[in-house]
Structure 1
């Protein structure tokens, strides 16, 4: 499968050894541990992929009243059992026999996979394209995102709308955590705070997206004629400056929220209730 990145050819000098390069024997002149950043990025992303894959296919321990794992919400099939008074949308009915999480994760996964920051992260961490600044990539040539499958990165702007929808549903789930086991309002547990922090980070990451910034303030000739959009664009731009931090923070928080529900559902301990 073509990736737009081709391995170095053995037929002649290419890439860092191309004839157009300055006559420097070393592949680069960096003396610091430049490899730590791409190695750490690859390790972090790989850890999340392994964990989320396990949880997505587990099809168990994803609900403990009043918490439902963000990996499994919303429930779109009959085999998604949350026992919350019938909130399942059951759009896929009873014929869906696999884990219901597989119906949901494609949308946040597609949004993150095509995210501008995550592209940089896994291009460098996994494909070494390039591995770091001032370090040449070990590929014969790079065609950018102009060929399949990398050209599919352009669907990021459309995944943004699905990401907003998913964030809205997770917000609803977060509101429901302020109930007790009998669905009475005015209660709060440790899980409520975890879900609240998670949804805050998810919204911050989603709104810091470059596509969101363009939707809010793009294609305008005069900001002075659109003061409201200009103010919104300013807010989104401030979030956009922290896009990398929010990307990692929300990735960790959604995994922690799921893991907390798993611990409760598996009987590891009971959720501490504050009131």
Structure 2
């Protein structure tokens, strides 16, 4: 007869919290930061203006790739195989869902919004509102297991963003080129520092000594992985800065600082 005590589904904390510090500050600022980006990105994705600076060949990442006939001339680097789109569909509708899926299922972002939005739990030694815990075994959290597949899509989109940044040099060299290059470089750091990338490069290996190339790649990815959280937040900022700069330049609100015309 099994005499082992029954496992608890939740840690029994009778008090609301055992913390004496401002434990709520971190989840609050995290929620505000994520909400600010979501609001900005959503508005910009549906605006359909200020995304292509034709004179300098600047294309914002929020509209890349632009494959519809609704795209302004010159912004479709890969042609327009898709016809006109209704106003309620973003022009980058093929890439945005995958990028959203990649960010939502990212290991760091899970920690961020589990604590700040889902309150599971909001902080250590703080009571959470959920009576049961099913983990990532049921909808909607079971979708988190698709992270590795979103990684492959994000990798392809980062390649496209890299092409956009390089193609912009056809219009000369200005501050916008630097912003685009810095943004895509940091996007590479965020994408390659992903835990799934680390597993792809070094996972399932029993002997690193027999796979020196993969071991070297795994080592470099592991170095980036340590800073995955920082890259996750930095790239949210660089995406906004890049999009905002292209928006302001394309609408002639500010001039582009030119180095070579």
* Superposition TM-score, scaled by structure 2 size: 0.90
- Cα-to-partner distance string for 1:173-205 (whole Å, 9 max, x where unaligned): 11122232xxxxxx3111111111100110000
* Residue of 240, 260, 263 corresponding to 2:245: 260
Q: Distance in 2 between matches of 1:58 and 1:78?
A: 16
Q: Distance in 1 between matches of 2:73 and 2:212?
A: 45
Residue 28 of structure 1 deviates from its aligned partner by 2.6
Over 3 Å counting, the alpha-carbon distance change for 1:274 and 1:95 in structure 2 is closer
Partner residue of 2:195?
A: 210
Contact 1:68 1:82 in 2 (8 A): no
* Residue of 11, 24, 35 corresponding to 1:46: 35
Which one is further off, 46-55 or 68-77? 68-77
* Superposition TM-score, scaled by structure 1 size: 0.86
Aligned residues: 249
Partner residue of 1:58?
A: 47
Contact 1:213 1:236 in 2 (8 A): yes
Q: Distance in 2 between matches of 1:82 and 1:42?
A: 38
Partner residue of 2:256?
A: 271
Contact 2:183 2:242 in 1 (8 A): yes
Aligned 1:14-25 pairs, distance under 5 A = 18=12
Q: Distance in 2 between matches of 1:256 and 1:104?
A: 19
Contact 1:216 1:233 in 2 (8 A): yes
Q: Given the alignment of the two structures, is residue 119 of structure 1 paired with residue 104 of structure 2, yes or no?
A: no
Partner residue of 2:16?
A: 27
Q: Distance in 1 between matches of 2:78 and 2:214?
A: 37
- Cα-to-partner distance string for 1:201-241 (whole Å, 9 max, x where unaligned): 10000000000000000000000100111111010001111
Q: Distance in 1 between matches of 2:242 and 2:20?
A: 40
Residue 274 of structure 1 deviates from its aligned partner by 1.4
Q: Given the alignment of the two structures, is residue 195 of structure 1 paired with residue 180 of structure 2, yes or no?
A: yes
Residue 91 of structure 1 deviates from its aligned partner by 2.8
Contact 1:63 1:82 in 2 (8 A): no
Contact 1:59 1:101 in 2 (8 A): no
Q: Distance in 1 between matches of 2:63 and 2:85?
A: 17
Instruction: Give 5+ residue unaligned stretches, structure 2.
Output: 1-8
Contact 1:216 1:232 in 2 (8 A): yes
Partner residue of 2:5?
A: none
Instruction: Give 5+ residue unaligned stretches, structure 1.
Output: 1-13, 181-186
Contact 1:189 1:273 in 2 (8 A): yes
Q: Distance in 2 between matches of 1:221 and 1:104?
A: 36
* Residue of 72, 81, 91 corresponding to 1:91: 81
- Cα-to-partner distance string for 1:79-112 (whole Å, 9 max, x where unaligned): 111425x634323223565331333211211110
Secondary structure in 2 aligned to 1:42? Answer: helix
Q: Distance in 1 between matches of 2:73 and 2:176?
A: 16
Residue 46 of structure 1 deviates from its aligned partner by 0.2
Contact 2:15 2:127 in 1 (8 A): no
Contact 2:10 2:133 in 1 (8 A): no
Partner residue of 1:150?
A: 141
CA RMSD of aligned residues (A): 1.7
Secondary structure in 2 aligned to 1:178? Answer: helix
Contact 1:77 1:88 in 2 (8 A): no
